[in-house]
Amino acid sequence: MVLHSSLYRFLAIASSFIARRPSATLPLAMDYLWTPWRYAYVSTAEKSVGCVFCNAVEANDDEKTLIVHRGKHCFIILNAYPYTPGHVMVVPYQHLDELRKLPPEAATEMMQLSQRMESILRELYHPDGINLGMNIGKAAGAGIAGHIHMHILPRWIADANFMSVVGETRILPETLQETWKRMTATFLQS
C-alpha cells in the first residue's frame, strides 16, 4: 500500500501528541492523546444552566457566544464543538423541541438562512459537499434535544481520517474565533 507524503507528515505530527504510559488499571497497549484545550468543555459541560442557545441570545455578546448572524426569527451560531471547520447551526429564537411546532415564518427563514450559509461555506472553505440536517430528540442524536436547530457543515472527500475514525479526535485547522471573524465578515458582504 502506497501512502502519500502528506499522510506520513500527518502521522508524524499526530504521533508526537501520543504518549504511551504504563498504568495499573489500563492495558499497556493503550494510547493517550493529551488535549488540554478540551478542559474548558469537560470542566463546564455539566454546570451549564438553561438552554445553551437561549443563553447565547440573551448574553448579547455575539463574538463571545459565536453568533454569526441574527435574523427576525432565527440566528446562526458556530458549533462550539465542530465536526469540521465552518460547522454552524441555524436556530429559531423560539425554544421548541419539535420542527412541527415551528411557525411557518420561522421555518421559511431557517431555510433561507441555510441556503445563504451554503453559499458562504462554499465561498470560504471550497468543500466537496455540504451536510445539512437536524437531530430531533435524544434518541435521534440531538446533543441539545430541547431546542431544535439545523446543522450546516462543509465536507471534503476523505475528511474522516485516521484521527477521527480510530483516535476519535477531530483536528481543526483554525480557531473558532478565526472562523467567527471570517464568517461574519463574509456574511455582511453577501
Active site residues: 149
Give the E-state strand segments of 58-139 in sequence order. Answer: 67-70, 74-78, 88-92, 129-133
* b/e per residue 79-90 (b: at least 16 CB within 10 A): beebbbbbbbbb
Looking up cell 471547520, which residue turns up?
85
* b/e per residue 122-150 (b: at least 16 CB within 10 A): eebbebeebeeebebeeeeebeeeebbbb
Please check whether residue 88 is in contact with residue 183, taking contact to mean a CB–CB distance below 8 angstroms: yes
